[in-house]
Structure 1
């Protein structure tokens, strides 16, 4: 008996300083993705709503952090109840957790796991905001974010990653968030825009990005932070799986960017910076669920397929008439669906698990499981998100007035503008000219 107890004690996980440090760095990288997303989205909108777009992402760092500490971590990763939700009173307020208490058989503290998962919870509602550019009251968005993470994100995270969650138990593979993050956010975006309607001038007025350098900066920060997002999701790297995921993240993103640009050149005749940035994000989205199951060659296939599919999908809003302002549906929903389903084709059975896809002799079983996960999360998020938007729209109102939208949401909602044009040109002469012709200066600012 004593020998058996000694063996069990020897097999029990112990705190790893290396894995703990690695996961803290990954958490910081994922946190950086939300400001990166803010720049990515902020550059894609017109000048008059760029600050609002930045704030719709940035505010998530405040709202979701507090809710995660109060009850979100408990709902997502507490003891399972009916395969649908979790709860652990020790996780409420993170108050009943020992500072060296390890997370569920891993070698990192619970606190480290909690803060890593917090950063996923933060960026997911921020992703939704890109579909709603130019037309949503900031106060309504704040309330929507709090409600959405509570009734959509926290439960879905439990389904996918929580011990006992029904998709987790079914065997759906989602390494780092294809269903829980990207399909979840993309479906929510579609649900909300179907309720609140189109921007003024949709399909009539040019709504070009005001700063492509900001878009490229944001895409670069997202790409950088995504290494923590993906590689960190193995919660350590003692067996090399995290390293494979790191490599696959780079490979798939490169393939998707090239595929998007190739499609764009053939379809529209140009290689655009916006296409390069969007293609890179599409690859990042698609490899997120699949990267721990495929080889680097499989990652090339996943990225290339997603790059073309997402490039094709962004035009659907004009065909079907839904105003997905910054292509959240086209990139995150379509990319998440593609990456999640491609697991069922390209999983090698030799990386994160022994589950093999169709092309590696595994048959259709895993593809079927992936499809269940994809469409369950899509349907739940779409319906509940639309319901929340409808409720808020009928009570406090989700949209700004048409006059505010046309004039610019930044000045009304935030009492600021992104750029100060009053001194443009410089010099005493130009200042005197501007002072003597206020109407001309006003027109310049409005433009």
Structure 2
């Protein structure tokens, strides 16, 4: 067991854990003030639900012995982490690997919530996090991350048979979450006033703080995926910096030429788009290739966020435009820009189309991305539809107009009553439901 590698993996796990509160701030600032607490709680609850599910059966389902054809790990082999706590995987203790992968599962679920901001019942969302993690994320993680002979003798089909390169989760996390977000947005429908009423972010300071925490934590997300503290992790760190910086610039350039202004929201969104795109590719691209990928991702995602208005679906916080599209750009970018020269993985990597590798890796990347996209969309749509028809997933129109924070949590993100001489009070949910449209929300 290598203590240096172990220390880096545990530190990286802590960095990635911080990304979920960072995401809560990022998403929370992007919604209206009457929804900020609910939006943040939708991220925070995944820390509880997915954290427990991961320990009980999620790790085993993702990295346990394959049940056949690389489709699913046995959820009962390591139930409650049985047989894992005293193991060593590739120089790090089993619990360190479990810890690192747990925070990936948590944030993957939290990412989906941005697509249905302002209108989802919190109790149903909480139930959804467990169901979706179990039926969608854990199997996809097995397909993409479970390599033969690491935690189990036989792993997932995308990693071992199709041989898709996805270093840190472009398919299993970002394409997966983006497709799921699209499915739920269609199931729940549009927010009241979507397309006609202004729905601007209420606190761009929170958005930029959240983006900064995401960027900070993402170095653990990507470089930590090396599962060691050597040259590979260092090279991945540099590629992550290069692509993210370039993506922010690319998003702002497109904004400036298209709209005449470079915005703080655009800068924050460009950062996230670059982080998403470089996630699968950070071990196989050169620093120059990472800059090129980041520029393309920033501009492409800035363009893609407008598709919801063209096609008429309400992806509240652009999960589709940033995570689905950014994940596709990064996953396909490997098939174009991967190089065995001046990349972190070096001779262990493959060559993309632009470096003489032909279409061999590109078609593999395309198939892997397409399969995860379709699987996630179809299964998530089914989960969302069943929950909507049984326990109900969307709040009522009156409750939405009154403000989901008051209805679902009986709280407000900003208690400003004392500034105007009033006492500290909470409006009861029954009173909130009678609020007219003209008097709704702040």
The TM-score, its normalising length taken from structure 2, stands at 0.92
- 2:117 is aligned with 1:133: yes
Residue equivalent to 2:336? 345
Q: Spell out the pairing of 1:41-52 with structure 2 (5 A cutoff).
A: 41-52=27-38
**Over the residues paired in the alignment, what is the CA RMSD in angstroms?**
1.6
Report if the CA contact (8 A) 2:402-2:440 is conserved: no
2:50–2:105 Cα contact (<8 Å) kept:
yes
Task: Report what 1:95 is aligned to.
Answer: 82
In 2: Cα distance, 1:237 partner to 1:47 partner = 42
Residues in 1 aligned to 2:237 and 2:85: alpha-carbon distance in whole angstroms:
31
Shift in Å, 1:53: 0.1
Instruction: List structure 1 runs of 4+ shifted beyond 3 angstroms.
Output: 442-446
Deviations 1:20-76 (A, max 9, x none): 011110000000000000000000000001000000000000000100011000000
**Contact preservation (8 Å) 1:43, 1:215:** yes
For the 8 Å contact 1:341–1:370, the answer to whether it is kept is yes
Note the residue ranges of structure 2 that are not aligned, 5 or more in a row: 148-154, 424-435
Q: Residue deviations 1:278-332, cap 9 Å, x none? A: 0000000000000100000000011000000000000000000000000000000
Q: Secondary structure of the equivalent of 1:85? A: coil
2-structure distance, mates of 1:182, 1:394:
27
Count how many residue pairs are aligned between Structure 1 and Structure 2.
417
How far residue 91 of structure 1 moved from its aligned partner, in angstroms, is 1.8
Distance 2:24 2:55 in 1: 23
* Contact 2:144/2:158 (<8 A) preserved: yes
Provide Cα deviations, 1:241-278, integer angstroms capped at 9, x if missing partner: 11111011111000000000000000001010000000
Q: Is the counterpart of residue 380 in structure 1 residue 366 in structure 2? A: no
- Residue in 2 aligned with 1:286? 277
**Structure with greater Cα Rg:** 1
> 2:314 is matched with which residue?
323
> Shift of the alpha carbon at 1:97?
2.5
Gap regions ≥5 residues in structure 1: 1-14, 433-441
Question: Is residue 419 from structure 1 mapped to residue 403 from structure 2 by the alignment?
Answer: no
Q: Which residue number corresponds to residue 405 of structure 2?
A: 410
CA distance in 1, matches of 2:76, 2:180: 29
> After superposition, what is the alpha-carbon deviation per residue over 1:174-224, rounded to whole angstroms, capped at 9, x for unaligned?
000000000000000001111110000000100000000000000000000
Equivalent position of 1:60 in the other structure: 46
Structure 2 Cα separation of the partners of residues 383 and 159 of structure 1: 17
Aligned counterparts, 1:138-149, within 5 A: 138-149=122-133
Secondary structure in structure 1 of the residue aligned to 2:73: strand
Per-residue CA deviation, residues 394-413 of structure 1 (Å, 9 max, x unaligned), is 00010000000000000010
Rounded Cα–Cα distance in structure 2 between residues aligned with 1:381 and 1:354: 28
Q: Is the 8 A contact 2:4 2:229 kept in 1?
A: no
Distance 2:310 2:408 in 1: 32
Counterpart pick for 1:77 among 63, 81, 94: 63
Distance in structure 2 (CA, Å) of the matches to 1:201 and 1:151: 33
Q: How far did residue 446 of structure 1 move? A: 4.1
Partners of 1:195 and 1:390 within 8 A in 2:
yes
2:303 paired with 1:312: yes
Matches within 5 A, 1:209-358: 209-238=201-230, 240-350=231-341, 351-352=344-345, 353-358=348-353
100, 105, 112: which is aligned to 2:96?
Answer: 112
Distance 1:221 1:317 in 2: 27
Query: Matched residues in 2 for 1:74 and 1:445: separation?
Result: 47
CA distance in 1, matches of 2:422, 2:81: 56
